[in-house]
Every structure is written in structure tokens, then in C-alpha cells.
Amino acid sequence: MSAAHSEHRGKRRAIIIGGSMSGLFTAAFLRQTGWDADVYERSKIELVGRGAGITTHPELIEALQKSGVDLRDLGITVEKRITLDRSGRVIGEKVLPQILTSWDRLQRLMRATIDDAHYHLGHSFERVEQDGSQVLMHFAGGRRERADLLVGADGIRSSVRAQVAPEIQPIYSGYYIWRGAPKEADLDPSTRSSIFPYFAFYLPERQQVIGYPIAGLDNDLRPGHRRYNFIWYRVADAAELKEMCVDANGQQHEHSVPPPLIRGDLIARMRADASAIMPPQFLDCLRNMQPFFTPIYDFSTPQLVFGRVALVGDAASAARPHMGFGMAKAGADAQELAQMLGRHDDTDRGLAAYNRIRQPIAERIVRHGRKLGAQLGVNLQTAEDQAMWRLLQDYRAMMDWIAVPNFLAATP
Ligand SMILES: Cc1cc2nc3c(=O)[nH]c(=O)nc-3n(C[C@H](O)[C@H](O)[C@H](O)COP(=O)(O)OP(=O)(O)OC[C@H]3O[C@@H](n4cnc5c(N)ncnc54)[C@H](O)[C@@H]3O)c2cc1C
């Protein structure tokens, strides 16, 4: 029996690996086009409390709306951006209304779009076998599942991608961020009045400090109960990063260190460095938060489809976070995949169309992230890199470019 024939006998079935945002978007959109979709997530418990702030974009709002989620109380709207100097004085402003939300909020909204019968926690994907029109997945513990399609939505270190394209590895950018989310109530009244309501920048040489308000725990949006998302970009070469990844027990980690295990001497050094350069409002944030660090990686792949395996979200490509666009890309990847599979009865043609449309966009997003990263002055190889570096030394250019909506329309 031909593949196309067998497909037409019943609903087509997809298995999605990864129960975070891109997995949930993919399940929602595939179901809308008449597919059966099951999500398998390796975490044994519901995903909560990851990361912190998320800037939103029109593409993300559209994906959420089309997934059927209730967008009331999505986040906090800031009306403008400001840049501070070392003394904490505002030296620049730009009116730019934008909704800032949090990873937790988005995850909960999207998790509500799928019932428990189709969302399987505690399942770690191990490998896939393909025989043309079918995929057979193997999970840790011996479970096996058969489907017409496997979607890798399992993040930047995707084990699905590791199997179909092991040569593709995330590339370290040469910089990392210190992050945290102090509670509004713990901040000094002057911090609350001068930066809390805004998307705020402080831009010392080869560094970026950025902050914006987000909901408190349990999506608490009441004044006094919110948090401030704090991000500090700093340069570190691979050797320095390796040293940072030795935890408080002396154990070497590969990519980062769980927050409670970050060494005290590292945090003390970071605080001393901050005291020497930062405006009082951002120092106040640092004093009132548990800091953790995230090294910045990016990559893209020449193809998003490998037979009956498709990649979406961070598994497919991940840009440096200067545009705050990862969630929006996850939603748009999922939407396009489902749309193309809905448009083509022949699954392989649908997958080819998805690849044709989204792969070049993924490349553009990754390139744009690298351009914006030039502000940090790492590995500036071409005249264009140098020109970008010079342009971004002006805080007005940074306010014009960092995490702004609709950047793709302005990018070749
Ligand atoms: C510092 C930083 C700041 C960011 N800021 C923003 C922002 O402001 N706005 C924005 O839109 N985006 C932002 N992003 C990007 C955004 O967080 C990601 O693009 C988004 O989370 C990608 O979602 P995902 O579902 O593709 O992957 P992930 O969220 O990484 O989820 C992958 C899931 O797969 C599961 N998994 C992995 N392996 C297996 C396996 N073998 N079997 C089963 N399950 C598995 C994992 O447990 C995980 O739940 C930021 C990223 C970083 C690093």
C-alpha cells in the first residue's frame, strides 16, 4: 500500500517531543488541521518557574490567539523605553508601548489548550526509526510509539536533532547574562518610581543592562506584587565560561549551573564588578534577587525536515535573545508546519513546503541576533560587523533595535 493511500485511511498522527512552548503550539495547530497530536515531555512534573521575562511581538500574540487562549491579563504594558547613565539619570527616552510577560504565564496559557490524555509527562525520547511513511519512537524505559510524523520541539539541545543532524551544534556567542527577578515590594521607592514602569537600559562599554516589569508569582499583576526582570550581558571567553560552570561542590557542568549551586565567590565577584559600574537603581535590583547566569548560544540548520522528522522552535534554530523573539518564532514555526500539512494531503509535500518557507526565515532571525550582538564587541570580523558595533554604541540605536516589534519586516 502506498504511503499516501495508507494516510488517507484515518487521521494522521504526530508525536511531538517536548512539552514546552513550541510543542504546545504544534499540538494546538496540528489538531486544528485534523491531526491527532500527542506531546511527550521528559520532565516528570508540570513545567514551571523557568527563566523569567518574555517580551512579546505581534507574531506571538497572533499565535496565542489562533491557539484559542484567553489573552486577558497577558502581562504588563510599558509605554516607553529609557536609558540611564551611571548616576541613574535618564539620558534618553523612546515611546514604544509593548507587553511584557513571563515564561510561566505563557506556558500555563498554552498548557490549558491540551488535555492530560494527550500530554505525557515523564517520557524521555531516545531514538527514532523511519521506514518512509512511518516513524517509530523509542522512549527511555522501553515505551514505543508509532506515528506518521515526529516533531522535535525539544529545545536548543534537542535529542531529536542530535539523531537526525548530529553535526549541528549550538555555537557559543562569547557572552553570557546574569539574570534575576527582584520583587517590586523589595525595591527602593526611588527604583520603583524611576525605572520599574519602564523598559530600561544602561549600556556601559561592551555590556548591556536591561530591565522591565513582569508579573509576580502566580501571574500577580497588582501594583506592589510584580517583579522586575533584570538582565546583564557580559563578555567571557570559552575558558572563562568553563571556570564559571564549576559549581559550589567543585563539579564541572557543561553549559550552565543550577542557580542554588552557583559558587559564592563568583557571585561576590559579580557584585563587586556591578558596584563599580552600575547606576543605583540596577544595583538595587541586584541586591534583591537571586542571580543566575545563562551563556548565550545560537545556531541554524540547513534543513528543518529529515524524512518524517520535522524540527520546530529552538530545536530548529535558536537566535541570540536580543530580539526576544524565540516564543514568537516557536508559534510561527508551529503554525506554518500545521498549515502546510493541512494544505497538502501528501505529508512529504507538506513537510517540504514547511522547510522551504521557514528555513530561510530561521537563518534571517539568527543573522539578525548576531548583528545586534555586535554591541558587545566579540569576534568582529567584517567591515559590516565593525560598522554595526559603531552604530550600536549609540544608546538611541539600541533603544531602536533591541526587542522591537516587526524587526523582520526591516531585515533583508
Ligand atoms: C536568556 C534568554 C532570554 C530569552 N528571552 C526571550 C524573550 O524575551 N522573548 C521570547 O519570545 N523568547 C525569549 N527567549 C527564547 C525562548 O525562551 C525560547 O525560544 C523558547 O523557550 C523555545 O521554546 P521551545 O519549546 O522550542 O524549547 P524549550 O522551552 O527549551 O523546551 C524544550 C522542552 O523539551 C523537553 N525535552 C528535551 N529533551 C527531551 C527528550 N529527550 N524527551 C522529551 N522531552 C525533552 C525539555 O524538557 C523542554 O521542556 C529567551 C531565551 C534566553 C536563553
pLDDT digits (tens, 9 = 90+) for 91-116: 999 999 999 998 989 999 999 999 99
Beta bridge partners of 190: none
User: What mean pLDDT is predicted for residues 358-363?
Assistant: 97
Q: How far is the CA of 391 from the centre of ligand 1 (A)?
A: 30
Task: Let me know: does 124 contact 160? Beta carbons within 8 Å.
Answer: no
Contact 152 CB / ligand 1 (< 6 Å): no
> Is the CA virtual torsion 52, 57, 60, 64 positive or negative?
positive
Q: How far is the CA of 155 from the centre of ligand 1 (A)?
A: 5
> What pLDDT is recorded for position 210?
98
Contact 328 CB / ligand 1 (< 6 Å): yes
Mind listing the pLDDT tens digit for each residue in 104-155? 899 999 999 999 999 999 999 999 999 989 999 999 999 999 999 999 999 9
- Nearest CA-CA partner of 17 in 165, 162, 152: 152
CA dihedral 125, 131, 134, 136 (to 10 degrees): -30
Mind listing the pLDDT tens digit for each residue in 296-335? 999 999 999 999 999 999 999 999 999 999 999 999 999 9
Residue 50 to residues 84, 179, 228, 255, 326, Cα–Cα distance (Å) = 28, 12, 15, 16, 14
3-state secondary structure 111-136: HCCCCHHHEECCCCEEEEEECCCCEE
Report the chain's mean pLDDT, rounded to a whole number: 94
Task: Let me know: does 73 contact 221? Beta carbons within 8 Å.
Answer: yes
pLDDT at residue 261 tops 60:
yes
> What pLDDT is recorded for position 3?
42
| Distance between CA atoms of residues 336 and 355, nearest Å | 9
**What number does the ligand 1 atom closest to the CA of 18 have?**
34
> What pLDDT is recorded for position 52?
77
Mind listing the pLDDT tens digit for each residue in 168-225? 999 999 999 999 999 999 999 999 999 999 999 999 999 999 999 999 888 889 999 9
Query: What is the amino acid identity at position 131?
Result: D
Ligand 1, atom 38: nearest CA belongs to which residue? 154
Ligand 1, atom 19: nearest CA belongs to which residue? 326
| Distance between CA atoms of residues 264 and 141, nearest Å | 38
Mind listing the pLDDT tens digit for each residue in 36-74? 999 999 999 988 866 578 999 999 999 999 999 989 889
**What number does the ligand 1 atom closest to the CA of 124 have?**
42
All three cell numbers of 91, joined, read: 539620558
Which of 15, 16, 21, 139 for mutating ligand 1's site (highest number of atoms within 8 Å of CB)? 21
